[in-house]
Structure 1
Amino acid sequence: MAETRDAASLSEHEVRAYLRANPEFLKDNPDMLNVLAVPARDVGAEAGVGAGIADFQRFMVERLRREGEALKAQQGDLIANARANMNTQSRVHSAILFLLDAQSFEQFINAITTDLAVMLDMDAVVLAVETNDLSLPGINQHGVRVVSQGTVDSWMNSSQAVRLDSNVIGDDQLFGPAASLVQSQALIRLDIDPRMPTGLLVLGSRNPEMFDPGQGTELAQFLGRVIERQLRLWLEV
């Protein structure tokens, strides 16, 4: 078996010859650029041996600049997302405080189906209830839609509290005349009480990517839980 030569025994000529024979070496091993001491200019031309010996320092600076620009872009995206999340959180908190200030059950329902859309910058907000009993309080108010029993489970899993959809076509059964505007939606299950029909809060937006299945659902769940508790208080169940 041939012995491996010590790196210190390699001559400059051999290293040059190897690199010329393997022009892709540094491209395939970019980590070597971090340990090489390199010239700031084309030393081949200055030494009279011909141009073409790469200015590695310039290469590394350009690479670092590209990496810095990419990192800056990533930081910009993170900051933009953080600001958007803070804005959304602020909107939801303000909307919840507004709901808690309702002075009557009718005002509470109206706040959900009318004011919530403005406060959350939605194109449609619907409160749906599974029931055949049209005498239930608030059932005939604007923005409250009646759906048959089992409908909510057909739209989302029974264990699912929130469902987010992007790039959708608004459902007429849910959104009525506003269905043509809706391109993304959030469905929030409302389990008010075992003795009460299942409810559903639906937020619709014309922005096809306002809601996405990959987004977090904490704020939507929080909004849903607050509405559930307020409904229990108003209905005294």
Structure 2
Amino acid sequence: MTIGTAKSASYEDDLRARIVADPGLVLDDPQIMRALVKASESAMGGNVVDLRGMAMERQEARLARLEETHRAVIAAAYENMSSTNQVHRAIMALLEPDVFEKFLQVLDQEVTTILRVDCLRMVLESGDAERETGVEQMSGVLRVVEPGFVASYMAHGRSQPPRQIVLRQTLPPTPRLYGARLGDMRSEAVLRLDLGAGRMAGMLTMACADPLVFKPGQGTDLLAFFAGVFERSMRRWLS
């Protein structure tokens, strides 16, 4: 018993010396500080309010909120950087083709893969859409529609004029763009295209089975930039 007591006393002396030499061992440990505060509250009795303990709890809660906000900001910055790289890679792919057929192929395959969307469609209005069905056979990504289709599709039953970019989780119930895959799509981005003076309206649509990829309230700066580059590329092919 004497030997055990001596070892215990030696351990306590060593622990006390370490804490005195480096108080941060205790002060920087939230669990130890919480235990010490509870022990102090128990010693004071139930009729005494420990304002220091209350202040410490509030500071801990505030610190936890700040750390959570910090993590959220870092995650958002990383996601934005990743999205920026995606758009830049897609644009570089669009600038490579030297013939229109290759441009459509890149749009249907490489760009769709880079942007991680399930369906991508380029929609062009034509005054004689029925006679231009052969144009669609050039690529599954191309759709030729009647005048007014773009504005109607983007508005989706709403009376206000459509914005340049529409993000939504409810797609119009028309199979004109996605065919049999329409039922699987749960979110969509629609980009209106300005193809130049004297030309009819156009749009670029991106649809995903994941309902969280595109939703109202998301930022659209990168999509607007992509649409601007895309419509300028199209003007070159249409000239």
Aligned residues: 193
What is the distance in 1 between the residues matched to 2:56 and 2:114?
A: 49
Q: Distance in 1 between matches of 2:63 and 2:170?
A: 34
1:196 CA displacement: 2.5
- 2:107 aligned with 1:112, yes or no? yes
Residue 19 (structure 1) aligns with: none
Q: 1:221 offset after TM fit, Å?
A: 1.2
CA deviation vs aligned residue, 1:135-164 (integer Å, no higher than 9, x gap) = 499543222122221111113365621111
Q: Residues of 1 paired with 2:116 and 2:173: CA distance?
A: 17
1:17 corresponds in structure 2 to: none
Report the equivalent of 2:92.
97
CA shift in 2, pair 1:138/1:89, >3 Å: farther
The aligned amino acid for 1:60 is A
Aligned-pair identity in percent equals 29
Secondary structure of the residue aligned to 2:53 is: helix
Q: Report the residue type matching 1:58 in the other structure.
A: G
**2-side partners of 1:87 and 1:167: how far apart?**
26
Sort the Cα spacing of 1:205 and 1:54 in 2 relative to 1 into closer, same or farther, 3 A. Answer: same
The residue that corresponds to 1:177 in the other structure is 180
Does 2:150 correspond to 1:152? yes
Aligned residue in 2 for 1:197? 200
**Aligned residue identity for 2:200:** P
How far, CA to CA, are the matches of 1:123 and 1:168 in structure 2? 14
Verify the 8 A CA contact 1:162 1:217 in the aligned structure 2.
yes
Q: What TM-score comes out, normalization by structure 2 length?
A: 0.73
Preserved contact between residue 170 and residue 182 of structure 1 (Cα < 8 Å): no
Is the 8 Å Cα contact of residues 166 and 208 (structure 1) preserved in structure 2? Answer: yes
CA distance in 2, matches of 1:226, 1:100: 9
Structure 1: tracts of 5 or more residues without a match: 1-39
Q: Is the 8 A contact 2:124 2:203 kept in 1?
A: yes
Alignment-derived partner of residue 71 in structure 1: 66
Which structure 2 segments of 5+ residues have no match? 1-38, 156-160
Confirm or deny: 8 A CA contact 2:112 2:118 kept in the other structure: yes
Shift in alpha-carbon separation, 1:102–1:170, aligned structure 2, 3 A: farther
Q: Write the distance in 1 (CA, Å) between the matches of 2:132 and 2:174.
A: 25
* Distance in 1 of aligned mates of 2:101 and 2:227: 18
Whether the aligned pair in 1 keeps the contact of 2:132 and 2:144 (CA below 8 Å) is no
Q: Shift in Å at residue 169 of structure 1? A: 7.0
Which residue of the partner structure matches residue 10 of structure 2? none
- How far 1:215 sits from its partner (Å)? 1.5
> Helix, strand or coil: the match of 1:174?
coil
Aligned-pair RMSD on alpha carbons?
A: 2.4
Contact 1:169/1:183, CA 8 A, preserved across alignment: no
The amino acid that maps onto 2:154 is M
Higher mean Cα deviation, 91-100 or 146-155?
Answer: 146-155
Give the CA deviation at 1:76.
Answer: 0.9
